[in-house]
């Protein structure tokens, strides 16, 4: 009895019954679970879409296409606060308030209805003009060949074909490429890479270089990638030093066989190569100059000028299209004599004229160029100006402030011609 009472006083464990749930099944039931749209055919679904509303009846359209700043075709433009104010206050809300100023291929001026859009666009446009570093200086390459190899070359009477036969450089390179010679045992092996560097270091005339380059081009398959980079670097260096020629066929063969080699060259070598190829293929030269600019480095003045010579007689549209990538160079170095001759025909209004004059001022020989070409600049200003007397007075004041001697007789003649109209 007592035992039963104690048992009742002790805490009892509760029993929980697990409810019997139906199993969760992932079996589709097309009869029970189906959306209303799924009951229609594809054609009925398409017909259920309402037609797009038409806004053709709205004449006061507020949306206007604005050109991407990166697609601008100009060579001298960089916007400042004064340019933005003039644009905002213009009646038509177009850049500089000039209806004739077209900056894209539509043939119509670009409108900026709102100041916020204009400021954002101008900021993005100015950011496309990045600062460039100077081209790193590289000394002329001097190859130090093993003395035994030099003696062997001299023993062949400087006959490179005989030298390659004696050293079996072509055969050694072929075996190495096919894996018949182990890499760790080929340190002293004479290959096309080493033998070609030695021969190039011994050549002194453009004729010898041209002959040996043809030989290298015929055996280009026996070079390693590292060997092609080293030999092309030395060949470019020697050809540039002699102000001679370089085999366009050899360069294109390398580029066709190994397209990444040109990007692996030192920047100064790419610059020299652009100079040497500018008269042979200006498009290839442009590609090389763009490789340098992608590194935020400014190409040399010689290479840029040699490239620009291809466009002396080109029309303004071609110049704007093909030379726009050099705008960074103009803002880095300024406009010297040859670039000025190229750019004059591309100037379309007085705003671009003022930008051009400021770029001339930036150049090292800016004052000399302004003095020498001031009469041509007067005529260019007359061509693009809508208020020539006012703009002429402003340009003369600019020349005076820069301490550039002004051709007074030319100014008086222009003023008298204007007064007769």
Task: Say which residues have a Cβ less than 8 Å from residue 328's Cβ, sequence separation at least 6.
Answer: 129, 130, 132, 293, 298
**CA-based diameter of the chain, in Å?**
140
Q: Which residues pair with 297 in a beta bridge?
A: 133
Contact 214, 195 (CB under 8 A): no
Going from N- to C-terminal start, the domains of the chain cover: 145-242
- 198-242 pLDDT, tens digit per residue, is 899 888 888 899 999 999 999 999 999 999 999 999 999 999 988
Flag whether pLDDT at 179 surpasses 60. Answer: yes
Q: Are the C-beta atoms of 382 and 352 separated by less than 8 Å?
A: no
Per-residue model confidence (pLDDT) at position 109: 73
SS (H, E, C) 151-206: HHHHHCCCCHHHHHHHHCHHHHHHHHHCCCCCHHHCCCCCCHHHHHHHHHHHCCCH
Short-list 418, 341, 420, CA closest to 386: 418
**What backbone torsions phi and psi does residue 38 show, to the nearest 5 degrees?**
-75, -10
Q: Taking residues 17-31, what's their average pLDDT?
A: 60
For the entire predicted model, the pTM comes to 0.79
């Amino acid at each position: 009895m007592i035992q039963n009472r104690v048992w009742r006083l002790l805490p009892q464990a509760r029993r929980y019954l697990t409810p019997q749930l139906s199993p969760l099944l992932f079996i589709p039931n097309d009869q029970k679970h189906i959306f209303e749209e799924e009951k229609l055919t594809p054609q009925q679904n398409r017909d259920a879409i309402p037609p797009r509303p038409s806004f053709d009846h709205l004449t006061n359209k507020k949306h206007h296409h604005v050109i991407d700043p990166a697609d601008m075709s100009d060579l001298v433009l960089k916007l400042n606060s004064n340019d933005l104010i003039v644009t905002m206050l213009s009646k038509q809300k177009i850049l500089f308030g000039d209806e004739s100023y077209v900056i894209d291929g539509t043939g119509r001026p670009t409108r900026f209805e709102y100041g916020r859009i204009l400021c954002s666009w101008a900021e993005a446009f100015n950011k496309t003009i990045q600062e460039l570093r100077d081209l790193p200086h590289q000394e002329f390459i001097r190859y130090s060949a093993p003395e035994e190899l030099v003696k062997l070359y001299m023993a062949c009477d400087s006959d490179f074909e005989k030298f390659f036969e004696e050293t079996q450089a072509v055969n050694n390179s072929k075996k190495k490429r096919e894996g018949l010679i182990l890499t760790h045992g080929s340190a002293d092996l004479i290959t096309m890479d080493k033998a070609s560097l030695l021969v190039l270091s011994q050549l002194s005339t453009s004729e010898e270089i041209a002959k040996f380059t043809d030989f290298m081009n015929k055996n280009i398959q026996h070079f390693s990638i590292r060997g092609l980079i080293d030999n092309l670097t030395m060949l470019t260096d020697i050809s540039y030093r002699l102000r001679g020629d370089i085999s366009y066929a050899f360069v294109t063969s390398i580029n066709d066989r190994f397209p990444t080699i040109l990007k692996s060259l030192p920047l100064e070598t790419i610059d020299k190569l652009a100079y040497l190829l500018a008269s042979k293929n200006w498009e290839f030269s442009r590609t090389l100059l763009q490789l340098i600019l992608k590194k935020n480095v400014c190409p040399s003045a010689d290479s840029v000028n040699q490239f620009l010579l291809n466009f002396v007689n080109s029309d303004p549209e071609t110049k704007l299209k093909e030379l726009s990538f050099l705008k960074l160079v103009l803002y880095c170095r300024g406009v010297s004599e040859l670039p000025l001759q190229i750019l004059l025909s591309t100037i379309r209004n007085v705003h671009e004229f003022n930008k051009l004059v400021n770029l001339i001022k930036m150049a090292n020989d800016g004052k000399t160029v302004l003095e020498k070409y001031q009469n041509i600049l007067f005529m260019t200003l007359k061509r693009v100006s809508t208020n020539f007397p006012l703009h002429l007075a402003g340009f003369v004041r600019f020349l005076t402030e820069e301490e550039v001697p002004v051709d007074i007789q030319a100014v008086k003649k222009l003023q008298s011609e204007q007064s007769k109209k």
